Each structure stands twice: as C-alpha cells, then as structure tokens.
Amino acid sequence: MSLYKPATGSLALYKIRPARVTGVGEKIEIDLGAGKVKRVRPKDIAILHPGPLERLDELEPVQGDLDEAWELLAGETTHLEELASLIYGDFTPATAWAAWERVAEGLYFEGSPQQITVRSAQQVAADLRERERKAVEEQVWEAFIQRLRQGRIEAEDRQRLQEVEQLALERSESSRILQQLGHKETPVNAHRMLVRVGYWSDRHNPYPTRQAVSCEDPELILPELEAEERVDLTHLPAYAIDDEGSDDPDDALSLDGERLWVHVADVAAVVAPDSELDLEARARAANLYLPEGVVHMLPPRLTGQLALGRQPVSPALSIGFRVDAAGELDDLKLCRSLVRVSRHAYDTIDRQMGEAPFDRIKAITDRFRSRRLAAGASQIDLPEVGVKVINGEIVIRPLRRLDSRQMVTEAMLMAGEAIARYAGEQGLPVPYATQPGPDNPAKPAGPAAMYAYRRQMKPSRSTVDADVHAGLGLGCYSRTTSPLRRYLDLVTHQQLRALLAGREPLGSEQVSERIAAVEAGTRSIRRTERLSNLHWKLLYLKERPQWQGEGVVVEMKENRATLLVPELAMETRLRVRSDYPLDSRLRIALREVDVEDQAVWFRLLE
C-alpha cells in the first residue's frame, strides 16, 4: 500500500522502474519514458512521491550523506520520505527516487517504501565483503574469458574448462563458458574450442569417452589353468595367420590328411560363467580396436597366457572336420587339446599359397566357399583400409584381397557352421548369428552395384534360435573363433566345455540374457571404432592439404555424385555440372576438412 494516493504528476514505482502518473481512473495511466505509456491496476504500482513531476528526466542523480543517515537511523525503521530528507536534506521526486534506489540496492536499507529497515553494521560489513569477493571473481572470470577469446589458457584455467569438456564428451547439455563466448552449446563447438585453446591436443579422440566405452585394459586376478585331460595335437604343424603386428592370435589351422583342424584359444578353461572375469568381459562385450591401439575385453596377461603361439605349447579347443566335393562338412571332431603354434602374417603366407600345406588347405576352403556362393552368400568387394597411429604418424594402408586372408576367413566360417550344427544336434543353447536376406537379392558387379547392394543388406543379430545367415550363405552359424576378442564367442566356448566335461550348461534363457547384455555394448564399440577411424582419416587429410586422389561414382542424384574414395575407404558427395556414368573414376582434390564436425569436402579436378 502506498503512502500517497495516485495523482497526475506523481512519481510511481512500477516493477523496478520509475514511472510518472499521467491519468487516474479505474486504471492508472503511467509514462515509462521513451514514449512508452501503459495502463495498470492501482495495486501494480507504489507512489513514491505525490509530485508534481513534469518529466522523468527530472530524476537526475543528487548528492547526499548516506552514511550519516544510516548511523542516525541505526536499529530503527523508517519510511521513504524521512529517509530521503535525512540523506538529501529535502523530499522531492528526485530525492525520493534516489533514496529508493538505496533501499533497492539492499546494502544499508531494505524493505518497502512504507517500511524501511535499517540494516546493522555487521550485515553491511558482511555484504561488503561478499560484494568485494564477487567483484574479484568477476574480474578473474572476465580475464579468463578474454584469454579464451585470444585462443590461449593458463594452468589454472583447466579446471574451469572441465565444464566445456563435459559437453564435448556428451555428458552434459550446457556450458556457461560457451554461452559467454556466444557459441551454440553443442559437443562439436565444445570440442572445437578445447582444441583451439590447447586444452585438448588437435589429435584428441573424444569418441570412446562419448560412447562410454572403457579406454583402459581390465586388471583382474587370473586363476591358474587347471590340469585336465587334453588330446595331444602338438605333432600337427599349426599356423596362426593374422595381420602384421597382431598380438592376440586366438585361432590357428592344421591339416591332418584330409581333415582340417581349426584350433581356438581355450579361454573358457580360465574364464568360467559368472566369474569376475566373465562379468568384466560381458560388460565390455568385445575388444575395442582403435587406430591408437587395442583396448582388451580381458586382461592382456590372459592373452599372453592363452593366445595361440604366445607359449611353446598352447591349450586349445580344437574343431576338426572333413569337407566333401560339394563343400559340405562331415566327420566333426571336437576336443580340448594341446597344440604347437607358429605365428605368421597374411603377406608372408600369401607368398606360400602354392606350397604345402597351404595349397591343400586352400583347396578345401575353396570347396566350402563355392557352396556358400551358390547358396547366395554376399560378394561385396568395396575398398577397405587399416588406420593406425604408429609413433605419432597416421598410417593408412589398403586391406588387400589376399588369398591367405580369404583362406583363413573361410576356415573360420567352417568352424562356425560346424559348431552351430553340433550345438543344434546336441540341444546345446549357444548364440547363433543370423541375418535375413536382402529384399532384392542379386550378384552385384562393379563398385556402384555393390554399394547399392550393401545399403539394402539387413543387420545381423544374435539369438538362441538357429536360423539362416543369408550374408554368409549358411543355414546356421555361430561365431566361435574369437573368444579372446568377443564375449559371445566366449559364451559358446563355455557351453561347449560344459558339454565335453559332462557338466550342466547354461539354459536358453541364460544365454539369451547374455546376448541381451552385450547388445548395447557391441553397438557402442562398433560406433566408436567407426567414428575413431574417421577422426584419424580426417586428421590425415588435414595434415596433407595438397592431397589429390581418385573417387569412384557409385550414385548420381540431381547433379550430386556420391563417390567412394578407395585410397581412404571414405564416402563423399560432390555437386557436379553433369551426370557421370556409374563406376566412373574422377580425379578429386581436398578442399576443406572439419575434424571436430567430422566433415570433409573435395573438389573435382577438371
């Protein structure tokens, strides 16, 4: 309630602004200055001075003795007229407004125009200290923001920038710092800023953390490998064939007359269902393969103990079978074994494919491959590359279609089909890999047709119900040969070991629960690997601004060409002046790279 009634020319308080009353009726008309007039209810304003006030610009600053009035009124309450008179020696619209500003400030006085409380010396001193603290903080903050604008930081700034890092890692959705700098609050902008000021290296890979996958190897106590009866197959030369530099070989091949053996690291001999190691592997789902290195699903010391060829004699789960002229598997043998394994690179073995035993192994795998292709297996031959960071250098190498690689791949598929059939015959629940066929099955020829065919392929899935894997051309299939690298392969091995030992295996529901438990983790790992590979490819290009290469036209839509860049195994789009025939090869050059936004643009070289 006001001390005075509204009248034309009186000074009013509207919200936090001064207003001049210009009309009184059922509603009060007020002038807010700058030509702004408003009609309000009487309760929406408080009359600070009865007037007359001709214009709001009469409310000029006035000089007074605030300290003397405050000391004189100590411990009392007052009202606006008395306070204005004591501070400024007069009560006018100008002094009334000046006195109210002191009250609104809340330091020496507080309250309403009708009842103003005089604050104690202790309260004033505490507020002054707090205001001084805030003023210092504001100065520090402004200096920090200024450094960011200049693209630099000091050591003490790193803690403040953790807020931006949380946004860059998609762990929060806002950043006061980005707001202050006028940037849209997105992970991309946060990433860009952290690199620009040097908080992150320009090579920093945020994608593992964004996808919430672990970047550290597990460290757990390993149980001892128990002594148990094993078939001695050390008399058979066994070959673990993998990429150069691979340190976790979990499969190897042997030839015993016409029988092909696929030996697999016996990880389940150490990792029992629901053990601490098993639960850790389940949570991780699979090895994470980054250009920077490998993050293991199981402790690396376990790899050193069980990976084939890492010890003079290795324990294995060995799968042996024959392959008839039609490519069908028969005479399956499955056993816990001991094997003596030598390790080789694909390139090395590829030079020996015409020699024994690799010529005979390839003849066996070729029969199997012919059966798969006749059953509609996909044949997609699009560029693939390996991306590695070696001693700080980004190395991109094509994955060549080697006969040795195809031979090993077919042998692993054989083992997967053999185990899937065996599990079905024994009524043993295992994770089967299945995939429905494409809507328009065809045998694509050429990059464009293969690109289109790949886009219509449906994703594979894991299930306890055996079914067709159309992409592989197999009636049933279980991933079996990578228990060091993939958790569901390990589950299959745990089931097989239980059966061989006469123990009760897991039931279908338990296997299904394990499949469900790793689905999200597997997706996160695959996405992390894809984004990380692209990250390093873009850095590779950024370091080579003069890059030129070749693009293959795989799709044309309204003067926009989709190109595959074989050298980088990368897809890009270009606006072109005219249509190009599919599978045309065009010369292109790098135009621009945006590492943080994971975008790259090329231009056509005429």
Give the DSSP H or E segment for 96: helix 93-105
Which tens digit of pLDDT belongs to each residue from 184-238?
Answer: 999 999 999 999 999 999 999 999 999 999 999 999 999 999 889 999 999 999 9
The Cα–Cα gap between 100 and 45 comes to 14
* Per-residue model confidence (pLDDT) at position 4: 85
In a domain? residue 520: yes
Which tens digit of pLDDT belongs to each residue from 469-506?
Answer: 999 999 999 999 999 999 999 999 999 999 999 999 99
Above 90 in pLDDT, residue 327?
Answer: yes
User: What is the rounded average pLDDT of the residues 326-336?
Assistant: 97
Q: Do residues 380 and 433 share a domain? A: yes
* Per-residue model confidence (pLDDT) at position 245: 76
* Per-residue model confidence (pLDDT) at position 2: 60
In a domain? residue 219: no
In a domain? residue 141: yes
In a domain? residue 96: yes
Residue 247 — very low, low, confident or very high, per pLDDT cuts 50/70/90?
Answer: confident
Above 80 in pLDDT, residue 309?
Answer: yes
DSSP category for residue 92: -
* Per-residue model confidence (pLDDT) at position 331: 96
Residue 318 — very low, low, confident or very high, per pLDDT cuts 50/70/90?
Answer: very high
Which tens digit of pLDDT belongs to each residue from 395-444?
Answer: 999 998 999 999 999 999 999 999 999 999 999 999 999 999 887 777 77
Q: Please identify, among 476, 503, 536, the residue that sits at the C-terminal boundary of a domain.
A: 536
* Per-residue model confidence (pLDDT) at position 281: 97
Above 70 in pLDDT, residue 452?
Answer: yes
Residue 588 — very low, low, confident or very high, per pLDDT cuts 50/70/90?
Answer: very high
Which of the pair, 457 or 594, is modelled with greater confidence? 594
Q: Please identify, among 122, 141, 172, the residue that sits at the C-terminal boundary of a domain.
A: 122
Q: Do residues 509 and 364 share a domain? A: yes
Query: What CATH number has the domain bearing residue 156?
Result: 1.10.10.10
Q: Do residues 466 and 498 share a domain? A: yes
Are 369 and 327 in contact by the 8 Å Cβ rule? The answer is: yes
* Per-residue model confidence (pLDDT) at position 456: 86
The Cα–Cα gap between 289 and 530 comes to 10
Distances (CA, A) of 105 to 99, 124, 133, 556: 10, 12, 17, 68
Which tens digit of pLDDT belongs to each residue from 104-114?
Answer: 999 999 999 99
User: What is the rounded average pLDDT of the residues 348-356?
Assistant: 96
Q: Do residues 118 and 132 share a domain? A: no
Q: Do residues 249 and 307 share a domain? A: yes
Query: What does the mean pLDDT of the chain come to?
Result: 95
In a domain? residue 215: no
Q: Do residues 467 and 360 share a domain? A: yes
Q: Please identify, among 63, 92, 122, the residue that sits at the C-terminal boundary of a domain.
A: 122
DSSP category for residue 56: G
* Per-residue model confidence (pLDDT) at position 248: 82
Above 70 in pLDDT, residue 1?
Answer: no
Contacts of 328 (CB under 8 A, 6+ apart): 371
Q: Do residues 347 and 289 share a domain? A: yes
Start-to-end CA distance of the chain, whole Å, equals 81
Instruction: Record the tokens describing residue 118, joined without a space.
Output: 């005089």
Nearest to 231 by CA among 321, 320, 330: 320
- In order, the DSSP letters of 455-518 are HHPPPPEEESS---BTTTTBS-----S-TTTBHHHHHHHHHHHHHHHTPPPPPHHHHHHHHHHH
Residue 445 — very low, low, confident or very high, per pLDDT cuts 50/70/90?
Answer: confident
Q: Do residues 287 and 175 share a domain? A: no
Q: Do residues 265 and 412 share a domain? A: yes
Are 277 and 224 in contact by the 8 Å Cβ rule? The answer is: no
Domain count, the chain: 4
Q: Do residues 139 and 160 share a domain? A: yes
Are 349 and 404 in contact by the 8 Å Cβ rule? The answer is: yes
* pTM score, whole prediction: 0.84
The Cα–Cα gap between 204 and 439 comes to 41
In a domain? residue 414: yes
Among 241-245, 336-340, 600-604, the range scoring the smallest mean pLDDT is: 241-245
Residue 284 — very low, low, confident or very high, per pLDDT cuts 50/70/90?
Answer: very high
The Cα–Cα gap between 357 and 204 comes to 46
* Per-residue model confidence (pLDDT) at position 213: 95
Q: Do residues 291 and 188 share a domain? A: no
* Per-residue model confidence (pLDDT) at position 70: 94
In a domain? residue 223: no
Which residue range is the domain that position 95 belongs to? Answer: 11-122
**The Cα angle at residue 227 between residues 223 and 232, in degrees rounded to 5:** 125
In a domain? residue 225: no
* Per-residue model confidence (pLDDT) at position 364: 98
Q: Do residues 195 and 261 share a domain? A: no
